[in-house]
Amino acid sequence: MQTHEIRERFTQHFVKAGHTEVPSASLILDDPTLLFVNAGMVPFKPYFLGQQTPPFPNGTATSIQKCVRTLDIEEVGITTRHNTFFQMAGNFSFGQYFKEGAITHAWGLLTDPVEKGGLGLDPERLWVTCYLDDDEAADIWHEVVGIPKERIQRLGMEDNYWSMGVPGPCGPCSEIYYDRGPEYGAEGGPIADDNRYMEIWNLVFMENERGEGTGKGDFEILGPLPKKNIDTGLGIERVACILQGVDNVYETDLLRPVIDVAETLTGARYGAEHEDDIRFRVIADHSRTGMMLILDGVTPGNEGRGYILRRLLRRIIRSARLLGAQGPTMEKFMSTIMDTMTPSFPEIEKNRERILRVAVTEERAFLRTLESGTELFENAASEVRSAHGTRISGDRAFALHDTYGFPIDLTVEMAREAGLEVDIEGFDALMAEQRARAKADNKAKKHGHQDLSVFREFIDEHPTEFVGYEELQATSRVLGLVRDGQRISEARPGEQVDVIVDVSPMYAEAGGQLGDRGSFVLDGVSLPVEDVQKIGKKLWIHKTRIPEGAGLEVGATVESHVDEAWRHAARQAHSATHLIHGALRQVLGPTAVQAGSMNKPGYLRFDFNYTEQLTPEQLQQIEEITNSVVDADHQVNTTEMPLEEAKAMGAMALFGENYGDLVRVVEIAGPFSLELCGGTHVAHSSQIGPVAVLGESSVGSGVRRIEAYSGLDSFRYLSKERALAEGLASSLKTPSEDLPERISQLAAKLKAAEKQIADLHRQQLSAQLGGLVEKAQQVGEFSVIAEQLPAGTAAGDLRTAALDLRGRCGEKAAVIVLGAKDEKGKAPFVVAATPAAVDKGVRSGDLVKVLGEYVSGRGGGKPDMAQGSGSAPEGLAEGFRAIIEDLRSRS
């Protein structure tokens, strides 16, 4: 049975039982506690936490959620059951059925015959575990379902009690296992061997509330929840493994084709050697996870989600290289995994070109990193051999791994080829420190999750009626006041409060558009609204500071006013953002996908996935197309329609955004700009006014940003640019239209003059070098040249001079030490040694460190040449003397 069929059978089983089908949320949710969605229940957290009332007609739901867990990336492939990406199929009950319902639903799907819509598993091979004192669940399994008591086992808090890891809902759970047979391990059930007995489904009975604590079992149970809930999770990949009769999750219809391609590209064979098998599994697992992250809008970067994606893609490249691949591999891996996953996720097909472009670009960059890393490794290995050592230090290996992205196992392999070893213990210790810091940071973020339950009553019973699309003022009744997370009945002068009203004309921040500014007017006194935020997509929170001589009470009636100038300029910027997006796709093609935006009165920035810097000509095209749409005075149409209808029209949605069944579509100039958007917009494109593109820049690997002004801000910017051009034209006594050529001429002259000066300086320096050889002093068995060169000598000139002097010293055991005060007041320095001096034990890299201590600097290099820089040039003379004393002590 193919994986997509397993998914369909699961969904239909619960839909027929009255559950609402909920599409998978994006892997990226606006949740400060999570980097990625890591469990099927995550999108339902507001309902389990009591922050919102479930919107499902029967109080039940089912979903197959995309999940990513990356805590133990290094362990991937070592076991054959765990993936970084997996599909968690779940059914959820919010105060409806409880233990018996969850158990019988699960048992029915697993054991019903295939011809009746079930999965057809042999009931005699199913085992279950229950929490130690959960007699109720154990009795249901035995008396209602009919499982013999010997196949029902009890486990403690660590295994059969669930919580989110922070205060909130919790409860015992019951897990279902499948016996894969004696060839997989010992008899005796899951307690005896969890490899033979594979866990496939976890049924969580949420009935209690937990307090603070650490670990899986070290917390207090505060008491029962108001309602008993059900949260279950079935591992689609594990069920596929069983139904397809394969040994592990890497051999199912989703991942095995990637392994087959890897065999072709590398020449290695899966199943031949344990270490190679791990690399094959890494390639298969990470290809899928990387592809799904790119699909949901993640691009490689150096922090957060982008760092995780970059790490996954680089592990694919590294693993392929270690298996024997010589050239690029990413395109074939990604193409294969997209083919296997598209039946379950049809949206992959529309994004195929973009996914390939992001992955292949990252591969090219990393292959360059491997080249530079190889050079750095060779330097490290050379230093170890020169010092007659056999081991590359842990901190050097860690620097190669952490700073330069050079994989540790590649470092180990290359060291082995060079007859060296790596201090793995030291490396592991540094990695453990890094993981501990990351874990502590993650824990801090978890406990920083804001409690929004204070707003639940308003979300459920008094959602805000937003009238701001049509009106800029409204009569509103104050429903609630919240200060420092607590509800209050009255706000006093000087206090910052969150004000909740029944009707509001003010736009709450969303979709990249900042919230409106405005005021509440009460008894002739204006209370400024400094920001408007949204909670649960239904409730508007007005950030208000009570002025002197005023107050505000729950139940008061106020006049709500939007700052009209703010709204006008904000609408201009938001509509301009849509036009920039349309122009961008027209110039760059459909693979330039939005990665985020921000617009406020008069200004916008637009982030998009693209790997190349835009040319001035492309920017000019984008600006010209945008303004041509402005000039054409198109009507801006907004229409509400079902989500599926909007998608069928071609309306674009933002990655990571969860849309309701009914969405708002904003259309400008027909198909040129058609987007799902809840923001405020102008009525006609001409109302945007001029749009001035400021430029574009990189904001991360594969993500570019365009910034622009709109309306009066655009006019003011262009006016300043004109004044600047006129000023330059006047100073240079040339017409404005000739400025580019005139400035280019001056720049060329300046560059030629600077080159002349540099050449003259080098000639003067070269003329001095002969005299320096004659001034060399004999220090024991070494001929030493230690000289501070004229002020303004740059580091590059110092190095050239040192190489020249070393060459002039011929067969002598000579050491050259040079320093200077450069144009920035810094102190570059260099040490060079002839081959004869190196043979006598001189190490230039050690000597620059001595000199660095006297000039507040540092340096390094090879035995025959090293250099550095410091901030205290006045210490050069003393540093020279220290080196001379060091050399004298060797004689």
Instruction: Give CA–CA dist 246/252, Å, rounded.
Output: 7
For residue 170, say whether it is annotated as part of any ligand binding site.
Answer: no
- Give the confidence band of 31 by pLDDT, cuts at 50, 70, 90: low
What confidence tens digit (pLDDT) does each residue in 754-776 have? Answer: 888 777 877 777 777 778 888 88
Instruction: Give CA–CA dist 424/415, Å, rounded.
Output: 12
pLDDT at position 148 over 60: yes
Average pLDDT score over residue span 682-691: 96
pLDDT at position 340 over 70: yes
- The domain boundary, picked from 247, 279, 298, lies at 247
Lowest mean pLDDT among 15-29, 318-332, 399-413: 399-413
Average pLDDT score over residue span 577-598: 90
In this structure, are strands 557-562 and 673-676 parallel, antiparallel, or unpaired? unpaired
Do 169 and 213 lie in one domain? The reply is: yes
**Nearest CA-CA partner of 691 in 717, 667, 668, 720:** 717
For residue 681, say whether it is annotated as part of any ligand binding site.
Answer: yes
Do 780 and 656 lie in one domain? The reply is: no
CATH number of the domain where residue 667 is located: 3.30.980.10
- The domain boundary, picked from 562, 585, 612, lies at 562
CATH number of the domain where residue 499 is located: 2.40.30.130
Cβ(288)–Cβ(647) below 8 Å: no
CATH number of the domain where residue 179 is located: 3.30.930.10
Burial of 165: CB neighbours in 10 Å, binned 0-12, 13-18, 19+: middle
Do 532 and 483 lie in one domain? The reply is: yes
Is residue 603 situated within a structural domain? yes
Do 626 and 505 lie in one domain? The reply is: no
**Cα–chain center distance at 836:** 53
Average pLDDT score over residue span 651-676: 80
Angle subtended at Cα 809 by Cα 806 and Cα 814, rounded to the nearest 5 degrees? 75
Is residue 734 situated within a structural domain? no
**Nearest CA-CA partner of 2 in 237, 200, 232:** 237
Do 150 and 284 lie in one domain? The reply is: no
For residue 241, say whether it is annotated as part of any ligand binding site.
Answer: no
Provide the domain limits for residue 419: 390-449
Instruction: Give CA–CA dist 349/291, Å, rounded.
Output: 12
Cβ(614)–Cβ(714) below 8 Å: no
Is residue 472 situated within a structural domain? yes
715: which residues sit within 8 A by CB, 6+ positions away? 689, 690
Lowest mean pLDDT among 83-92, 111-120, 395-404, 414-423: 395-404
Do 553 and 580 lie in one domain? The reply is: no
Is residue 788 situated within a structural domain? yes
Instruction: Give CA–CA dist 249/452, Å, rounded.
Output: 39
What is the model's pTM? Answer: 0.65
Instruction: Give CA–CA dist 831/622, Å, rounded.
Output: 53
Average pLDDT score over residue span 197-202: 95
**Nearest CA-CA partner of 584 in 545, 630, 626, 540:** 626
What confidence tens digit (pLDDT) does each residue in 693-721 have? Answer: 999 998 876 788 999 999 999 999 999 98
- Residue type, position 462, single letter: H
Is residue 380 situated within a structural domain? no
Cβ(86)–Cβ(311) below 8 Å: no
Instruction: Give CA–CA dist 412/409, Å, rounded.
Output: 5
Is residue 414 situated within a structural domain? yes
pLDDT at position 657 over 70: no
Instruction: Give CA–CA dist 727/734, Å, rounded.
Output: 10
Residue 175's Cβ-side half-sphere holds a number of Cα atoms within 13 Å equal to 24
Cβ(529)–Cβ(521) below 8 Å: no
pLDDT attached to residue 403: 66
Is residue 739 situated within a structural domain? no
Burial of 379: CB neighbours in 10 Å, binned 0-12, 13-18, 19+: middle
Angle subtended at Cα 242 by Cα 236 and Cα 245, rounded to the nearest 5 degrees? 130
pLDDT at position 419 over 90: no
Residue 801's Cβ-side half-sphere holds a number of Cα atoms within 13 Å equal to 35
In this structure, are strands 20-21 and 593-600 parallel, antiparallel, or unpaired? unpaired
Do 633 and 583 lie in one domain? The reply is: yes
What confidence tens digit (pLDDT) does each residue in 12-26 have? Answer: 999 999 999 999 999
> What are 527's strand-pairing partners?
520
Do 210 and 162 lie in one domain? The reply is: yes
Count CB-CB contacts under 10 A for residue 736. 12
Do 108 and 47 lie in one domain? The reply is: yes
Q: What's the number of domains the chain is made of?
A: 6
Average pLDDT score over residue span 590-616: 88
CA distances from 61 to 95, 520, 535 (A): 12, 41, 22
Cβ(655)–Cβ(28) below 8 Å: yes
- The domain boundary, picked from 188, 220, 247, lies at 247
Is residue 742 situated within a structural domain? no
**Nearest CA-CA partner of 290 in 340, 333, 245:** 333
Instruction: Give CA–CA dist 32/563, Å, rounded.
Output: 31
Cβ(22)–Cβ(62) below 8 Å: yes
Instruction: Count the residues in the chain.
Output: 891
Do 349 and 437 lie in one domain? The reply is: no
pLDDT at position 405 over 80: no
Handedness of CA 838, 840, 841, 843 (dihedral sign): negative
Quickly list DSSP for 16-38: HTTPEE-PPPPS--S-TT-SS--
Say whether 532 sits in a helix, a strand or coil: strand
pLDDT at position 740 over 90: no
Cβ(676)–Cβ(701) below 8 Å: no
In this structure, are strands 814-819 and 782-788 parallel, antiparallel, or unpaired? parallel
Average pLDDT score over residue span 813-830: 92
Quickly list DSSP for 300-360: --SSHHHHHHHHHHHHHHHHHHHHT--S--HHHHHHHHHHHHTTT-THHHHTHHHHHHHHH
Do 17 and 156 lie in one domain? The reply is: yes
- Give the confidence band of 461 by pLDDT, cuts at 50, 70, 90: confident
| Mean pLDDT for all residues in the chain | 89
Instruction: Give CA–CA dist 30/45, Å, rounded.
Output: 12
Do 444 and 458 lie in one domain? The reply is: no
For residue 574, say whether it is annotated as part of any ligand binding site.
Answer: yes
Average pLDDT score over residue span 143-159: 94
Instruction: Give CA–CA dist 32/44, Å, rounded.
Output: 15
